[in-house]
Amino acid sequence: MLSKSAARTFFIVGTGLCSLAFVLLTIDTLKRVPEQTGADKLTPEAVRGKHLFDESNCMGCHTILGEGAYYAPELTRVFSRRGPEFIGAMLRDPEAMYPGRRRMQKYDFTDEQINDFIAFFKWVDQMDLNGFPADPPLASQAGPAQASSGGAPEIFGQMCVACHAVGGRGGVVGPALDGVGTRYDAAYLKRWVSDPQAVRPGTTMPKLPLSDEQLESVVNYLATLKD
């Protein structure tokens, strides 16, 4: 059993060592911050995007870098998870992307503001966060934002796999697209992708904001998905 003087000495020395360790670890962390956050890659667009993110109170619903609400999807890795095309489409008209399902406010951002948002999300996505956030349990089923396997066009990997799966990878909101090229011809697929409501009124599939070139690439790819 320690005497009073020994206990006092133990307390003082222990507190001092712990305080010193805390200070040293803090200094080490601060030294790592510029490199791990990619401070040299912080562009004016990304800075403006961060200000827009704050001014629009996005953290009132979303979480990013561990901070914010948990009502809406986590956004730390949204750039690699969804890609710039999907992000842009969601910011332009959330309801159009998920008819009857999304409650995200339409802010009427300009194209420049949307590009700033995308630059900000890209910068955050490239941070070295020591494994944070962890991949969700179903991550193995999710399709990559920059899909390229099987000849899939990049736009397909960003927009379509959010809801549809191919080869067991992708979303489960819509039907899997394996064999869709056998069930439907290219003309039908083009009508469906370009304006789903015109083919089947009331469908929950959105009219995707695709250019003519992107539409052709998606349709050509879907036509190759045969049983």
Closest CA to 52 of 129, 122, 112: 112
Cβ–Cβ < 8 Å for 10, 2: yes
- For residue range 62-80, what is the model confidence (pLDDT) as tens digits? 999 999 998 888 999 999 8
194 CA to centre of own chain = 24
pLDDT tens readout for residues 78-137: 998 888 999 999 999 988 887 776 678 889 999 999 999 999 999 999 999 888 887 755
Q: Which of 119, 115, 118, 171 is nearest to 143 (CA)?
A: 171
> Rounded distance, CA 224 to CA 221, Å?
5
Rounded Cα distance, 59 and 138, in Å: 24
Structure tokens that stand for 193 in this block: 């992708």
d(C-alpha 125, C-alpha 38), whole Å: 10
Kindly report the average pLDDT of the chain as a whole number.
87
Please state, in angstroms and as integers, the Cα–Cα distance from residue 155 to each residue in 1, 16, 20, 89, 127, following that order. 71, 57, 52, 12, 24
Structure confidence by residue, pLDDT tens digits, 31-41? 888 888 888 88
Q: Domains in the chain and their CATH numbers? A: 39-125 (1.10.760.10), 141-223 (1.10.760.10)
Per-residue pLDDT tens for 126-183? Answer: 999 888 887 755 444 444 444 444 567 888 888 888 889 888 888 888 899 999 999 9
